[in-house]
């Protein structure tokens, strides 16, 4: 077997802005004059959730996909990656939810109550899916002064105008509008649902600032008390944390237009000598049994819902088991494939721990997996390579340690906790004793007792194997240590 190594192959990424697949070399590595190595940074901005309710499974896909990208970049540029994922914590859906739940609180206090709770839910869900906390998690409400300043610049440069208490971006002032999404402005007017307000100069002009009533959250501004539009939030936060130019901007494909198109337009107009994000990456949407996920179709579910049915590792596996740019169809077949793969990986992790092996720090993935990820973040191909490593290691049960190591350590590098492999309060001894009792019952031809013990092992999520050498049980993806009491 090839040893897990890092090679010199470059990362290649498809840029949504150009449609081209090209080698990714960060800006600081190409800078002239050269930036000292210690000062170089890779800047990544990911559009995060609007926090008014539990994250649905579609919200989880970009978090998981770009978590893998971050791991890949951190391996390639150790200590030099700055990964930012924001929270949109002021928006009309949040305002409505806050007014409904906390009608007696001041508007800003009410939205803070809703968003604090929702952010805590989001952190819990993402942690269960193996998503690491970003380097920065800016909240829009903390960057309103930066938004106001950017809007003032846009007005001063002739790219925005005030009308009836609103400030709008003048799409006609930016010739490059539509280049990111590949759309023609006139076609967009004909095909898109846009708010045609009488105060707009152009139907595609979008809101940068809007007035707030006394019952809505608001901040002082040169245009009166109001609140920011959605698009200006990300532009201001990205600039504040990553600068006027940075390497990668990511999000779901549903954000390509209008959100990212508008972000790019206003950012480039506010700082015309800069280009904002250089590489744009967009993950595909999730369908359920071939249909768009929708509450009206009854196929809408949250991460919290699915965590009640399966481990976070299984959810993570499903979300990565398609190329990140492709749509992902959530089906029962895909769920069972993920469970089977995680059963194998957890069994290997169980052997790894029982052999007294300790994971190195930092972990390094196997070259076969790294090769697939470097080719436009091919997570599906990476899982196929991981599957090959696991298949080689799973049989026989007495696996050679150096065959075992690549599969387990690569899976953990990919973000799979394999936490079911941890021993707790003598669980190993309890499992081994149950297997010994099962063998004794079979030897005594007490098949009813043997079946009872085996059923208890199965119910605890253990993978049971009986050979001439006796019975063994290894932790699978559905291991539940609370069920071990049933083994007595």
pLDDT in tens, 168-212: 999 999 999 999 999 876 666 544 455 567 889 989 999 999 999
Is residue 2 one of the residues assigned to a domain? no
Last residue of a domain, one of 261, 283, 305: 283
Q: Are residues 392 and 355 in the same domain?
A: yes
Residues 6+ apart with CB under 8 A from 89: 51, 111, 112, 115, 119, 139, 140, 141
State the Cα–Cα distance between residues 228 and 144, nearest whole angstrom. 7
Run of H or E including 146: helix 144-156
Please check whether residues 277 and 296 belong to one and the same domain.
Answer: no
**Same domain? 242 vs 115:** yes
Residues 273 and 310 in one domain: no
∠73-250-238 over CA atoms, to 5°?
A: 95
Provide the pLDDT for residue 478.
85
Assess whether 184 and 244 both reside in one domain.
yes
Flag whether pLDDT at 4 surpasses 50.
no
Residues 384, 406 within the same domain: yes
Residue 76 lies in a domain: yes
468 is in an annotated binding site: no
- Say if residue 263 carries a ligand binding annotation: yes
Please check whether residue 3 lies inside any domain of the structure.
Answer: no
Domain boundary among 383, 414, 445: 414
> Could you give the count of Cα atoms lying within 13 Å of 431 in the half-sphere of its Cβ?
29
Considering Cα of 97, then 103, then 108, then 113, what sign does the dihedral take? negative
The alpha carbons of the chain give a radius of gyration, in whole angstroms, of: 26
pLDDT at 2 over 50: no
User: Is-above-0.85 flag for pTM?
Assistant: yes
The confidence score (pLDDT) of residue 6 equals: 43
> What pLDDT digit, counting tens, does each position of 75-121 carry?
999 999 999 999 999 999 999 999 999 999 999 999 999 999 999 99
Q: Per-residue pLDDT tens for 241-259?
A: 999 999 999 999 999 999 9
Residues 86 and 118 in one domain: yes
Q: Are 80 and 174 in a shared domain?
A: yes
Based on the domain organization, do 440 and 349 belong to the same domain?
no
Do 172 and 191 belong together in one domain?
yes
Measured distance CA(61)–CA(53) in Å, rounded: 17
- Alpha helices of 257-364 — where are they, by DSSP H? 261-270, 303-307, 312-320, 332-354
Distance CA 351, CA 86 (A): 39
Mean pLDDT of all residues in 54-60:
95
Q: Per the structure, how many domains does the chain have? A: 3
Is 201 labelled as part of a ligand binding site?
no
Question: Binding residue per annotation — 234?
Answer: yes
Residue 6 forms part of a structural domain: no
408 pLDDT exceeds 50?
A: yes
Range 59-82 average pLDDT: 97
Same structural domain for residues 338 and 357? yes
Q: In terms of domains, do 278 and 296 share one?
A: no
Query: Which domain covers residue 454, as residue numbers?
Result: 424-486
| High-pLDDT (> 70) share of the chain, % | 93
CATH of residue 169: 3.40.50.620
């Amino acid at each position: 077997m090839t040893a897990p190594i890092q090679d010199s192959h470059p990362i290649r990424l498809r840029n949504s802005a150009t449609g081209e697949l090209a080698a990714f070399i960060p800006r600081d590595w190409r800078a002239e004059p050269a930036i000292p190595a210690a000062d170089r940074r890779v800047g990544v901005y990911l559009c995060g959730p609007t926090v008014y309710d539990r994250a649905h499974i579609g919200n989880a896909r970009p978090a998981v996909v770009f978590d893998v990208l971050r791991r890949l970049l951190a391996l390639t540029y150790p200590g030099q990656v700055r990964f930012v994922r924001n929270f949109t914590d002021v928006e009309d859906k949040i305002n409505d939810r806050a007014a409904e739940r906390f009608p007696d609180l001041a508007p800003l206090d009410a939205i803070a109550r809703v968003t604090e709770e929702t952010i805590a839910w989001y952190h819990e869900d993402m942690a269960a899916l193996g998503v690491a906390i970003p380097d920065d998690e800016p909240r829009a409400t903390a960057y309103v002064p930066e938004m106001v300043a950017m809007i003032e610049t846009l007005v001063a440069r002739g790219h925005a105008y005030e009308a009836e208490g609103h400030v709008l971006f003048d799409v006609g002032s930016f010739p490059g509008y539509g280049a990111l999404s590949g759309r023609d402005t006139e076609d967009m007017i004909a095909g898109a649902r846009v708010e045609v307000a009488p105060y707009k100069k152009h139907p595609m002009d979008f809101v940068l600032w809007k007035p707030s009533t006394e019952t809505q959250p608001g901040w002082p501004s040169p245009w009166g008390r109001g609140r920011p539009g959605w698009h200006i939030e990300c532009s201001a936060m990205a600039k504040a944390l990553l600068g006027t130019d940075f390497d990668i901007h990511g999000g779901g494909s549903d954000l390509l237009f209008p959100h990212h198109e508008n972000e790019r337009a206003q950012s480039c107009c506010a700082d015309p000598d800069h280009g904002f994000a250089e590489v744009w990456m967009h993950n595909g949407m999730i369908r359920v049994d071939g249909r768009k996920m929708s509450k009206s179709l009854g196929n809408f579910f949250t991460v919290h819902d699915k965590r009640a049915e399966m481990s976070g590792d299984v959810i993570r596996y499903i979300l990565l088991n398609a190329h990140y740019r492709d749509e992902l169809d959530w089906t029962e077949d895909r769920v069972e494939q993920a469970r089977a793969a995680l059963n194998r990986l957890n069994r290997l992790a169980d052997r790894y721990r029982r052999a007294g092996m300790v994971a190195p720090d930092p972990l390094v993935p196997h070259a076969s997996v790294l090769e697939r990820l470097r080719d436009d973040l091919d997570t599906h191909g990476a899982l196929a390579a991981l599957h090959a490593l696991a298949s080689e290691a799973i049989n026989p049960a007495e696996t050679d340690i150096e065959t075992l190591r690549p599969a387990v350590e690569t899976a953990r590098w990919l973000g799979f906790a394999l936490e079911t492999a941890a021993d707790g309060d003598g669980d190993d001894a309890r499992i081994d004793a149950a297997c010994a009792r099962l063998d004794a019952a079979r030897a005594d031809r007490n098949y009813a007792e043997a079946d009872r013990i085996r059923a208890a092992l199965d119910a605890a999520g253990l993978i049971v194997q009986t050979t001439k050498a006796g019975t063994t049980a290894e932790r699978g993806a559905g291991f539940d240590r609370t069920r071990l009491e049933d083994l007595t």
